[in-house]
Amino acid sequence: MNIITGIIGVCAVALLIYYFVILINERRRTIMETFIQYIFYLAVLILLAIPLGKYISKAMSGEKVFLTKILAPCERGIYKILHIDPDEDMSWKKYLASVVAFSGIGCFVLFVLQMAQKFLPLNPQHIDGMSWDLSLNTAVSFMTNTN
């Protein structure tokens, strides 16, 4: 329950900053405008560091935060569907199996997604799918974080 709450909080802040930077972005900027934007971005990050750190600390230590009322039932439902005991500790063997399975499934899904790009919706330029070797290379690169 705490992990999902923390992740959603961090993602919300990151999205707000990202969209704000996008709004500021213009076609051509001078060096000074770019420098001012970087200074502003750094200031926003510094201003958000303390409250966001306190929020994450509370969420990870099990204390109630403002999203607990909304996300706790969702998290309990997911745990119930997947037959997960939230109080059970995960051994290193289970953790390793989970990481390998998640990475393998993610790699396979990305591989298929890239090869089937031609048939997917929201492809207005009708770009063909990648060749199998390029798709495999890209999927493995993303899976191993070497992109």
Clarify whether residues 65 and 23 are in a common domain. yes
pLDDT of amino acid 24 = 60
pLDDT (tens digit per residue) in 85-143: 988 888 999 999 999 999 999 999 999 999 998 898 888 888 888 899 999 999 999 98
Does residue 142 sit in the same domain as residue 73? no
Q: What is the pLDDT of residues 16-60, one digit of tens each?
A: 676 666 666 655 556 677 778 888 888 888 888 888 888 889 888
What pLDDT does 145 receive?
81
132: Cβ–Cβ under 8 A, 6 or more apart, which residues?
Answer: 115
pLDDT at 125: 86
**Within this chain, do residues 93 and 74 fall inside the same structural domain, yes or no?**
no
Whether residues 19 and 54 fall in one domain: yes
Total count of domains within the chain: 2
Residue 71 has what pLDDT? 87
pLDDT at 126: 84
84: Cβ contacts below 8 Å, ≥ 6 apart: 78
Let me know whether 123 and 99 are in one domain.
yes
Q: Which residues have a Cβ under 8 Å from the Cβ of 61 and sit 6 or more positions away?
A: 2
Domain extent at residue 3: 1-88
What are the angstrom distances between the C-alpha of 5 and each of 43, 74, 84? 25, 11, 18
Are 8 and 62 part of one and the same domain? yes
> Looking at the structure, do residues 81 and 96 belong to the same domain, yes or no?
no
